[in-house]
Amino acid sequence: MLARLHSYAVLGMDAYPVEVETDLSRGLPAFNIVGLPDAAVRESRERVRAGMVNSQYEFPLRRITVNLAPADVRKEGPSFDLPIALSLLAASGQLESESLEVYGAAGELSLDGSVRRINGSLSIAEAARQARCRGVLLPAANAEEAALINNIEVIGVESLSQAVEFLKGEAAIAPARVDALALLSALRSDRLDLADVKGQEHARRALEVCAAGGHNLLMTGPPGSGKTMLARRLPSILPPLDIAEAIEVTRIYSVAGRLNSGRSLIASRPFRSPHHTISHIGLTGGGGTPKPGEVSLSHLGVLFLDELPEFSRQALETLRQPLEDGRVSISRALLSVTYPARFMLVAAMNPCPCGHLGDARQPCICIPQRIASYRSRISGPLMDRIDVAVEVPGLTKKEILSGRNRESSAAVAQRVASARKKQSERLAGTNTFCNAQMSVGQTERSCHTSAAGARLLDSAIERLFLSARAHHRILKVSRTIADLEGVTGIEPQHIAEAISYRSMDRRGWNGV
């Protein structure tokens, strides 16, 4: 007896169809799975046996061969439990149904026959839709996230017996439905507000400029000056995720297995702040069975690297590709996957090893050579990808206590949104969304400076000893500042402000 069932496996961001074929034949009782299964798939024999028996089905004492086709791609994870069990029931005559041909299935079995949640169900539902299935059986816990995909029935099942009854037509299960827009507004939460930050006018303004143009930001300042506090409030002034973006982000989290019930849609911009001991694999993603790393988990959001010079050199250098291309490709001997990674980088660092250079509250005890070696841990190529660098001074107790109430995130977000709108109008028809992503050619086309502005930029580069590579960066940032003001031409004051955000181009950045 032979039975066939559609299932799906996740590779990278996408799922691909896998045919689960089960054959029962005469011979000594045996249970073999072929088609490059990994350990988790091979162990599924035990889960399938126990799950079937405990659901009051008979486990056939025959020679059982399960083939996962295509046979030359490695299969991993426990999501084949459910389709193997179903095809085994079909092959042994316990489940006869025409629905088997139009429904796909994926899910992990528990020993008592219940179905547990799996990773990547959103990608699986998408693959099933592309394969023109009528529907797909998924663990009930994953049904809500998978239902974000339209035009396919997502059947959430709690247990193996429920799945069998549904396929036999004995019990009806309504396809899961979600109102994505309602979910988006219900789950959207911004508890942090920029109004909480006292003082730090310059840094606040820099944050606004970065949010408006999508520029990467580096904050330098003594401990306790509010760098982390500022960074955490960046998502609150960025334009909220629209539904397409939310689904894009949710899909990454689904593949990474980071969704839980009650949070089936990522509705706010991600904010990730990995610890500085993170490995380069942890940042970019990868591993034996590739998983998205921190750069992908912060896709369309903010990646915050606190204590930037403490990150390993290798980890920092791997950031270069995603910062440039907005995605990260991981190639290994057996496979090659690409994850999206278009994030805003916000980095924070102390000005020197002791942390108190320029701090009014405590003197710095570092010798210049140590400051130089501390700062040179951040390579030039990485620095080249950071548009804005500001110094965040330490606040005295008096300043913290006397800080006036500042603008709220909502007010800033409004300005940011209108600046972004100007950019998307100007960059319409290209695959660039904000000023920070403009190529050299685009920068030259869209950054028209007045004659006075150009003169200022030239004399600044000459008199302030700015490096030549600063030229385009300053133009991009001044473009954003002009957008925030709502004007078309770049005026000298925009350029001057942009120069004030380039402290890394100044002499003395890398020590004396």
Q: How many CB atoms within 10 Å of residue 242?
A: 11
Cβ closest to other proteins, residue 244 vs residue 512: 512
Beta-sheet strand order (sheet of 344-349)? 271-272, 302-306, 344-349, 217-220, 388-391
- Residue (70 or 508) nearer to other proteins, CB: 508
Q: Which of 117, 204, 422, 473 binds other proteins (CB under 8 A)?
A: 204
CB of 347 closer than 8 Å to CB of 308 = yes
220 binds other proteins (CB under 8 A): yes
Tokens 């490096």 locate to: 467
Of 70, 66, 112, nearest to 89 by C-alpha is 66
Smallest separation (angstroms) from other proteins to the CB of 406: 11
Q: What is the enclosing helix (H) or strand (E) of 331?
A: strand 327-331
Under the binding rule (CB under 8 A), the answer on residue 93 touching other proteins is no
Q: 231, 194 in Cβ contact below 8 A?
A: no
Based on the shown chain and the rule CB under 8 A, indicate whether residue 508 belongs to the binding site for other proteins. Answer: yes
- Closest approach, Cβ 427 to other proteins, in A, equals 24
Q: Helix (H, G, I), strand (E, B), or coil: what is residue 60?
A: coil
Minimum distance from residue 457 beta carbon to other proteins (Å):
10
The answer to whether residue 199 forms part of the interface with other proteins (CB under 8 A) is: yes
CA distance 182 to 385: 37
Q: How is residue 38 written in tokens?
A: 């990994």
Local structure of 99: helix, strand or coil? helix
The verdict on 205 binding other proteins (CB under 8 A) reads: yes
Determine the interface stretch with other proteins among 42-50, 157-165, 197-205, 322-330 (rule: CB under 8 A).
Answer: 197-205
Q: In terms of CB distance, is 291 or 494 closer to other proteins?
A: 494
Rounded to 10°, the helix 451-463/492-500 angle is: 30
Q: Is 497 in the site for other proteins (CB under 8 A)?
A: yes
Shortest Å, Cβ 201 to other proteins: 4
> What is the smallest separation between the CB atom of 349 and other proteins, expressed in angstroms?
12
> What is the footprint of other proteins within residues 372-411 (CB under 8 A)?
391, 393
Interaxial angle between packed helices 409-426 and 470-485, expressed in degrees from 0 to 180 and rounded to the nearest 10: 110
Nearest of 199, 227, 189, 210 to residue 415 by alpha carbon: 210
Smallest distance, other proteins to C-beta of residue 393, A: 4
Per CB under 8 A, does 76 bind other proteins?
no
Q: Tell which residue, 85, 103, 104, has the closest CA to residue 94.
A: 85
Q: How many CA atoms lie within 13 A of 213 on its CB side?
A: 30
Q: Is 351 in the site for other proteins (CB under 8 A)?
A: yes
Quick check: bond before 70 cis, omega within 30?
yes
Answer yes or no whether residue 40 interacts with other proteins by CB under 8 A: no
The angle subtended at Cα 220 by Cα 218 and Cα 226, nearest 5°, is: 100
Which residue type is seen at 408?
A: S
- Of the two residues 113 and 226, which places its CB atom closer to other proteins in the complex? 226
352 near other proteins (CB under 8 A) = yes
Cβ-based nearer residue to other proteins, 17 or 403: 403
Is 430 a binder of other proteins (CB under 8 A)? no
Binding letters toward other proteins, positions 451-490, x by CB under 8 A: -----x--xx--xx----------------x---------
The residues that touch other proteins, with contacts defined as CB under 8 A, are: 199-202, 204-205, 220, 351-352, 357-358, 364-369, 391, 393, 456, 459-460, 463-464, 481, 492-494, 496-497, 499-501, 503, 506, 508-509, 512
